[in-house]
Amino acid sequence: MTVLFVLAVVVAPSSAQQPRVGGPGPTLTQPAPLLANRVPSSPPIVYNGRVGQLDVRVPKVQAQPSVDGRLDEAVWGEASILTGFSQYQPVDRQPADDSTEVLVMYTDHAIYFGIRAFEGHGSVAANQADRDKIGSSDHVELFLDTFNDRRRALAFSVNPLGIQSDGTYIEGHGTDRSQDFLFESKGRVTAYGYEIEICIPFKNIRYQQTPVQQWGVQVLRRVMHSGHEQTWTPAERSAPSFLEQSGRLLNLTGLKRGLVMDVNPVMTAINKGAPSSATDPSWRYRGQDPEFGGNVRWGVTPNMSLNATVNPDFSQVEADVGQTIYDPRSAISFPEKRPFFLEANENFQVPNSLIYTRRIASPMGAAKLSGKIGGTNVGLLSAVDDGSATAPGSANPAYNLVRLRRDVGPQSNIGMVYTDRMQGGDYNRVIGFDSRLLLGKRHVLSSQVAGSFTGVGGASEDGRPLFDFTLARTGRSSGFNLVFEGTHPQFAASSGFLSRTGIVRAVFQPRHTWFPKNSVFQTVSFTTISDNTWEWDRFIQGAEPNDIKMNTNTTAMLRGGWGANLYTWTETFKYPAYLYTNYFVERRDAVGAVIDTVPYTGTDRLTNFGMISRVSTPQWKKFSGSAEIIGGQDDNFDEWSSAWVLFSTTEVDWRPTDKIRANGRYLEQRVHRKSDGSLVRLRSIPRLKLEYQVSRPVFVRIVGQYDGLKVDALRDDSRTGNPILVRTATGYRPAAPIDRGGLRVDWLFSYQPNPGTVFFMGYGANFGSDLFRPTDLQRTADGFFVKLSYVFRAR
């Protein structure tokens, strides 16, 4: 049987509620059930974060508690105790308003951290939820830096009902919750707060390959009713490193993993429906044979794993959330969701997204090796795509991706990336080097240089550069960011994602933060932003920037968990001629007769000004929400003229019971001509998601998203007012109005007892209309799908 490593976190009441227990540190508030089972001859060792007791000697125990959310077994009396939490947000390094204790012990096969949280200021927010969706609940998050390198940590979060969320925290990037680890947790709400037990097997995590282990540890508690975050060790939010401010678990010995081998067969069946033909509207379903695939994971060593996949399932059981494009010069990306590519993906993270695995559209097979060797993080991935996203008859694309990152000093690193996409005789290769260097105590210099080498049809473009340098000064009250970056117009990254190429950009952002006392405001931060962007050739020639921006950003955290933000912009944009290569103007005389057709030439510069305001509510037990409004004078990119814009986004979360969740989101984008106030563009995306958590592993979800678009017939609004024509292969056509709408509906039944073992059954349908009118929608496609996946784990 697998033996589990359990973490117990305890939040204690005030001294008036519970008796005291002595220890080597300050007096400690201790729950009565633990006192009753305490071994008198071995009192607990107490580590108080606020007084700097951060090196924890963890006792090794023989007995293994059952993970039931009750800390009443005698073995918990042997655990060391972490206490003395500090506030982290909104005002850091102050004593926490809520009392929290953390118990820790371990066995040969697992470490035990256990939790009792006392809530004396408000009610506990505890909701049944799907995995990784506990942000609306009170919860405790554990950061285990198993390589003790202060650069990344495994993050394990649990809410008061034992619902899990997990991922990997990476310094400078935050927590990536796309990965799932197998661990056990139970929790319960009590009269004084809540208790949790967490059990993490050694065989399901990576750690150093040494006989004596030292791990970094930090514990963070989130209290929903107040909006506070509290950490065991006093941590400054603006410090260069969050993990550098962690404590340590010392002298972990005799850790046993056993054989680490997972085999994960997957079956997916789809039955798609559509009209029989363009002339026959009768509905027809085209059943397909089930597709079989699978994944294999082998823990080669405690710090390295080998993964392989055949025909991986995309696992996208709901449509990507709709996004609007504010600037057509920049592309948007969507997150990776396939389990194979998410496994250990922190080893493939590269600045500027030079590795973006969604480029591998439908792989026939893939393999990757990832982990850490000494002080070097290693990621190697090879894949062969089936060519479904390429031209018919072309060769299958093959990908080889290499990512290495070496630790240097206490908080610095250097890295290398190499990507290679080959298809027949064509290729795209990128090689790059990057670093993150801590200069003194407050300055961080991040840099990256890369080159792309591309060959298509026998012609090649070699050595096209990319560079990115950022100098940041961190500080509690003040700091700044200085950015200088650029990408050659022909720099290509077929294995990565670049939002925009062919530009050079320089940004300077000084910041100051205030911490008012006895005020409704807890923190107020003000940032000024000087942001200049050149087209590559203009920068080389020494010309003035194309886009000149002077913006401000003010962010405030209010008491009770409220948040507010005000962003202002004052900017000028130069005419981007390359966007309008196929634009022409149909010249007309005074009576409307066509004279001729001439190339379109836009106004040289447009001046913009406006503001963005955003407010967010606290995470109340049953409700939370946010609203954002963007308004002012901005670019009308459709016609390259100044326009009045009004963009709004409203989102609400409603949890009428601990099992029912509703999320509503409405996004609207309006662009009106400044000349006469007429509507140029309207984009409307309402989205509604309803979920019922039948039990911890079972939920039902329904999602509906409508996407409506209206664009007026285009005209040369900033100059002549004449119609705009678009050049095509057969001549010129008017830039006619667009009026359309589309609805996507998905429902899903999910049974997921643990990561990798799932049963999904769902239905999705598309409805379209030639008018921006939901009542006129007609079904255009639909489909049923079933997915079965089971993980066989070696014992």
Please write the tens of the pLDDT for every residue from 242-284. Answer: 999 999 999 999 999 889 999 999 999 999 999 988 888 899 9
Q: Does residue 140 lie in a domain region?
A: yes
Q: Does residue 147 lie in a domain region?
A: yes
Please write the tens of the pLDDT for every residue from 154-183. Answer: 999 999 999 999 999 998 788 888 888 999
Domain count, the chain: 1
Q: How confident is the model at residue 426 (pLDDT cuts 50, 70, 90)?
A: very high
Tell me the pLDDT of the chain averaged across its residues: 89
Within 13 Å, how many C-alpha atoms sit on residue 239's CB side?
Answer: 16
Q: Does residue 669 lie in a domain region?
A: no
Tell me which residue range forms the domain holding 12: 6-253
Q: Does residue 752 lie in a domain region?
A: no
* 605 pLDDT higher than 90: yes
> Residue 589: its pLDDT value, please?
81
> Residue 29: its pLDDT value, please?
41
Q: What is the CATH number of the domain that holds 217?
A: 2.60.40.1190
From the list 567, 544, 536, 499, the residue with the least C-alpha distance to 327 is 499
> Residue 771: its pLDDT value, please?
84
Q: How confident is the model at residue 317 (pLDDT cuts 50, 70, 90)?
A: low
Residue predicted with more confidence, 185 or 389: 185
Pairing of strands 247-253, 55-57: parallel
Structure tokens of 698? 């079972």
Please write the tens of the pLDDT for every residue from 291-312. Answer: 899 999 999 999 999 999 998 8
> Residue 719: its pLDDT value, please?
84
Angle at 553 between CA 547 and CA 556, to 5 degrees: 165
CB contact at 8 A, 82 and 47 = yes
Q: Does residue 224 lie in a domain region?
A: yes
Least confident range of 159-168, 276-285, 499-508, 783-792: 276-285
Q: Does residue 222 lie in a domain region?
A: yes
Q: Does residue 134 lie in a domain region?
A: yes
Share of the chain above pLDDT 90, in %: 70
> Residue 423: its pLDDT value, please?
93
> Residue 43: its pLDDT value, please?
65
Strand ranges (E), 15-109 = 20-21, 28-29, 46-48, 55-57, 80-83, 86-89, 94-95, 100-106
Q: What is the pTM of this model?
A: 0.85
Segment 572-601 mean pLDDT:
89
* 19 pLDDT higher than 50: no
* 24 pLDDT higher than 70: no
From the list 28, 157, 152, 39, the residue with the least C-alpha distance to 100 is 28
CB contact at 8 A, 96 and 228 = yes
